[in-house]
Structure 1
Amino acid sequence: MNLVQIERQKKPLKPYLITAAIIPIFSLLLVYLMAIIAQYEMSEPIPNQVNTSSYVFFGQISFIGNVAGFVCLGATMLVKYVMEAYSERNIYLTLGYPVSRTKVFASKLFLCLSVIGIGVFVSIFVTNTLFFISESFYQLVDDQLSFQSVLSQLPLMFTGVILVIAICLIALFIGWLKNSIPLVIISAILLYSIPSNLFSSGNTLIMVVLAVVLFVISLVVVNVLKNKVLRLEA
């Protein structure tokens, strides 16, 4: 944990925590926008599509908005805390730590992933809670709010954590291979577009399976990056 504290002191977390606090606000606004649009939507429901006047649908909107925000935040953090630390400008200082290279690398990853992992879980919870509370005062959704509606969001919250961490790690790997910081951000956005499109089309189970597959790939990616760090020359 001492190494994690050092990382926090070198680069303050405050800007990222502020951003993490803003994401659920924008996600909530997105949910309200979709709820208002759904109220005035006059077209008939499309077969095999999620009912846009159900709480399941708005739980998905909350998921998509929050995960998208934390994918971008996580990619940015990994660039700043990990990739830049092993750039030509900073590599001498990074490799100069009188501790194991693996521990230094792990501490940087742990700091970033703990922020985005806990952040996306809390963010989805906050967005959904505020929306459900507001529904008890002024109902926008033509559906019956029940305990089952609330409980059904819990698996999505854990899926969001897995998905954000996996996508960010894979994006870091792609950017590291090409030594390109912009590629990390672009890769993260493109990778997230796949499960989000599946999810928005109602393929929830496929999206969850894809999230698990991406997470397994991310574990392999971390091991490859760790070996690269061990082979670096100061």
Structure 2
Amino acid sequence: MIKLIKLELRRNNIRTYVIASIIITIVMLGFLYLFSYAPKLEPTDKDLEVFLGYNNLIPMFGVLNMTAFCVLSAVMYSKFIIEEYSGKRSILLFSYPVSRKKILCSKLTVVSIFTIFSMIISNLIIFLIFGETEKSMQLVSGDFTASIMLQVIKITIVMAFIAASIGIIATGIGFIKKSVAATIVSAVLLASLMCNIVANIASSFTVIYIFGLIMIFVGILFSINLINKVNLMEVE
């Protein structure tokens, strides 16, 4: 499996996705400052009160960053799986003296691990920078303490796994039509749904964790279904 993972990394230009992750981090850092400063622009706007404290700000920002990495994950899956198993390209994959299951699992592993780790690193860098600037700027009510950073870490890990799971679910949907567009659109729609859910339960971390476990379970089911479909594919 490790050799197959190394092969996938050589066959696909992972540097492109690293650059994309860096760009996402820079843009999301800007959004975090925008969210934090928004209540000061319109003090009477009750809708902006959700950004006043860290308990709401952390999950709200976490799900926004998750949406960006969901799209990145969908783009990677489109390249690694949808395009690879479309048309004559699948003939080359099926000619390898390795089981179809192992080849697909290596692709799923590469994209999932990249999505999870890149989002965790991105979010932690963003909040570490934000935490340092908060010592002098005080955009958000309350001090940025170690317990706040611990909340950031917990939410980030959950959101990172949700992002990877949504990417797999979107790939399963796009695989039906062998459509890159369907994969990316599905990821955007699923991430948008997640944003709406978190917006309503932002202060309930327990519910977010439970929902995260459900998404991971669904992602595993879609992975199994995807493996079964590839095993039953006929070479065109």
Give the letter aligned to residue 86 of structure 2.
Answer: S
Instruction: Tell me which moved more, 188-197 or 198-207.
Output: 198-207
How big is each residue's C-alpha offset from its partner over 1:58-83, in whole Å with a ceiling of 9 and x where there is no partner?
32343123211100000000000111
Q: Pick closer, same or farther for the CA change 1:232–1:181 going to 2, 3 Å.
A: same
How many residues align? The count is: 232
Q: Does 1:154 align with 2:153?
A: yes
Residues 16-73 of structure 1 deviation map (CA, whole Å, 9 limit, x = unaligned): 1100111111111001111121123222657xx9642212233234312321110000
Contact kept in structure 1, 2:94 and 2:100, CA below 8 Å = yes
Are 1:216 and 2:220 matched, yes or no?
Answer: no
Q: Percent identity?
A: 25
- 2:190 is the alignment partner of 1:191: yes
**Map of 1:81-230 to 2, 5 A cutoff?**
81-203=80-202, 204=204, 205-230=206-231
1:232 aligned partner:
233
Contact kept in structure 1, 2:201 and 2:207, CA below 8 Å: no
Structure 2: distance between partners of 1:165 and 1:12: 19
Distance 1:219 1:184, change over 3 A: same
Q: What 5-or-longer segments of structure 1 have no aligned partner?
A: none
2:65 alignment counterpart = 66
Q: Is the 8 A contact 2:201 2:208 kept in 1?
A: no
Deviates further, 51-60 or 183-192: 51-60
CA RMSD of aligned residues (A): 1.8
In 1, Cα distance between equivalents of 2:49 and 2:195 = 14
TM-score (normalizing by structure 2): 0.91
CA distance in 1, matches of 2:105, 2:10: 16
- Is the 1:75–1:172 contact (alpha carbons within 8 Å) kept by the matching residues of 2? yes
Residue identity matched to 1:229: V
